[in-house]
Chains A and B, each alone.
Chain A
Amino acid sequence: MKPLTHVHSRTVVLPHENIDTDRIIPARFLTTTQREGLGKALFNDWRYRTDGSADADFALNQPAALGCEILVAGRNFGCGSSREHAPWALLDFGIRAVLSSEIADIFRGNALKNGLLAVVLSEGEHRYLLEHPGIELSIDIERGFIELPDGGRFTFELEPFARHCLLSGVDQLGFLLQHETDIANFEMRNAA
């Protein structure tokens, strides 16, 4: 995992509440055995009509969304299944940060483990971002704030370990493997 310290981009906004992981990537695209290449299936059933043509009305299909790395989504983003294909698809598409007023537990954990920043904001801050699509944001992960175009700042908190892993590009398996002795001792204690 590459270190992630800043995300600087315009936002693309999907205001819908409860965007579930089936919406982010439908189950029929999960037969892959790879992590890569899932961006083309991201939000498939919103991006494409049943005849395969792109739906020009959908936010991610609009020219303004091109190159956007920050997704602002309605409350309770990522609910539903535990499929890690959801953050993989977002990352492969080019999204580096998801901002919402609430993010489902499993999705948030999966996102952070893959270097996808998942930030929960207050209702008021969230509403401001929903109402101002396409604004330029600068996210400073180390210092924990999002800078707005007018210089205003929204602060945020991340679970300290996830934050450390994002900033240093460390993956969590390495940390677990370092505690092999603790694990072996636990197994010995409980084997009796």
Chain B
Amino acid sequence: MSARTLLDKIWDAHVVRDETASTPAILYVDLHLVHEVTSPQAFTELRQRGLRVRQPQRTLATFDHSTPTLPADAAGKRPYVSLEAESQVAQLEINTREFGVELQGWGSAHRGIVHVIGPELGATQPGMTIVCGDSHTSTHGAFGALAFGIGTTEVGHVLATQCLLQRKPKSFAITVTGKLQPGVTAKDLVLHIIGTVGVNGGTGYVFEYRGGTIEALSMEERMTVCNMSIEAGARAGLIAPDATTFAYLRGRARVPQGAAFDAAVAQWSTFKTDAGARFDHEVQIDAAKIRPSVTYGTHPGMVMALDASIPAAANAQEKRALNYMRLEAGKALAGTPVDIVFLGSCTNSRLSDLRAAADVLRGRKVAQRVRMLVVPGSEQIKRDAESEGLHEIFRAAGAEWREAGCSMCLGMNGDIGQPGQLVVSTSNRNFEGRQGPGVRTVLASPLVAAASAIAGHIADPRELLAEAAA
């Protein structure tokens, strides 16, 4: 057989029926993640047609988007943003019970952001196909799984048939070499990649991140990179599984244990691109040249180095974006006053993200003018962080330590800013109004977020890191 890419191998292993000129392939789905926002209409469809969930054991549900991040009161009442949000969550409880689907709900030790808990439980595994009614399903590609977001109609297809109708996407190699400099994180890397490829450069493609820099990343860093593939238009991003992947998975609840794990590793190890395999498109990135990077506009492709001056608007849209952001081309972005700092989201809410920010905040104070929200990605991360005392560091600095969820990433649960406020956010989208009408979002790494919280304005973490090292 000719040399195949990682995408080819996963694809080929999941084709139930080949694509033809007139019909897409039928592709089998190994793991279907479900959350409260994009599933209720799909369950309604099943009910109306008298269908059941074909493979409940391949289906895992949780709620994360509409959930409050403030705790329940003494009577157990949770502060939902609206009755509708509360009933949406209740509807998922009803649907999962009725259709026999596992729910990591309130009171579960593993509730959390759907893209955080899949890997955490070991449900996400190499070589799998994984889908969810959520565009950041690309996160799971960090394990060498073909993982992508789908709409609610397709959620219904997968619930009923465990399959999707898909045309095979094209392959796009992003090869990253060179060493990331101190203070430069996986978030800076992926922001830089989106800035290079463009906000629509990946449309129709699946990325495969390759090269020495990618191989040197931890699993949490790889998840940060794959998470934002969709921000360049690619539905999925892949990283070939390796020793780092297997070490992360070993002993997790849903992976095979003992000798069966070693057998699984042998099989997982085959999921890599063969030497000589051809990609439809390729770019090379030099990691050593990347500086801490942030967005300055209203889409994630408007990226700049934090220590550079704000680029001139290339077109009417960028001009409009600068107006919205109240920023002026040619000026420094560093030093811009900050109102809110949000540390969280499926991009950057994992334990290593919280540790990185806590290291910067330890013994320091969040500036008077700034409100900082720290929202762990899952109940598990919350417990782990608390056992290390990270919550005490955040609280002592003046930050709010919240319950797990998506929170301010999309502002669906009431965690939003006020019109005109500027948010330095470790999340993935800086669209107009994403974090509340009129709110201005600057996407950044946990280090930049923490440094900016302390300074009260957008700040370069390398100064504080140098101080700590001195």
List residues of A whose CB falls within 8 A of some B CB: 16-18, 20, 22-23, 26-28, 30-35, 45, 50, 74-76, 79-84, 87, 102, 104-106, 109-110, 113-114, 159-161, 164, 171-173, 175-177, 179-180, 182-183, 186-187, 190
Contacts and interface: CB of A to CB of B under 8 A. Distances in A.
7 contacts: A30-B65, A31-B66, A50-B419, A76-B199, A82-B38, A172-B153, A177-B161
Given A182-B16, A183-B161, A81 B432 contact: no
Nearest to B49: A173
A24 to B, nearest CB: 10
Given A33-B91, A83-B38, 13 more contacts: A16-B317, A18-B200, A18-B317, A22-B431, A31-B88, A35-B41, A76-B199, A84-B41, A104-B233, A105-B169, A177-B160, A179-B26, A190-B28
Contacts of B49: 173
B37 A30 contact: yes
Nearest to B45: A173
Contact of A80 (B82, B203, B429): B429
B353 to A, nearest CB: 22
Q: Which 3 A-B pairs have the closest CB atoms?
A: A110-B151, A33-B40, A82-B149
B16 A18 contact: no
Interface in B26-75: 26, 28, 37-38, 40-41, 44-45, 49, 54, 65-66
B412 A81 contact: no
B161 A161 contact: no
Contacts of A34: 40-41
B31 to A, nearest CB: 14
Contacts of B150: 82, 106, 109
A175 B200 CA distance: 31
Contacts of B16: 179, 182-183, 186
A18 B410 CA distance: 18
Q: Interface SS of chain B: helix, strand, loop or mixed? A: loop
B469 to A, nearest CB: 39
A22 B161 contact: no
B152 interface: yes
Contacts of A16: 317, 320
Interface stretch (B17-25, B185-193, B210-218, B238-246): B17-25
Interface stretch (B253-261, B375-383, B433-441, B454-462): B433-441
Contact of B26 (A84, A105, A176): A176
A142 to B, nearest CB: 15
Contact of B438 (A22, A50, A87): A50
B165 interface: yes
Given A30-B412, A172-B157, A173-B160, A182 B17 contact: yes
B299 interface: yes
A186 B434 contact: no
A187 B162 CA distance: 10
A2 to B, nearest CB: 15
B163 A183 contact: yes
Interface string B413-425: 0001001000000
B22 to A, nearest CB: 5
B235 interface: yes
A106 B17 CA distance: 22
A176 B153 CA distance: 12
A81 B81 CA distance: 21
B204 A105 contact: yes
A110 B22 contact: no
Given A18-B199, A33-B88, A179-B17, A45 B432 contact: yes
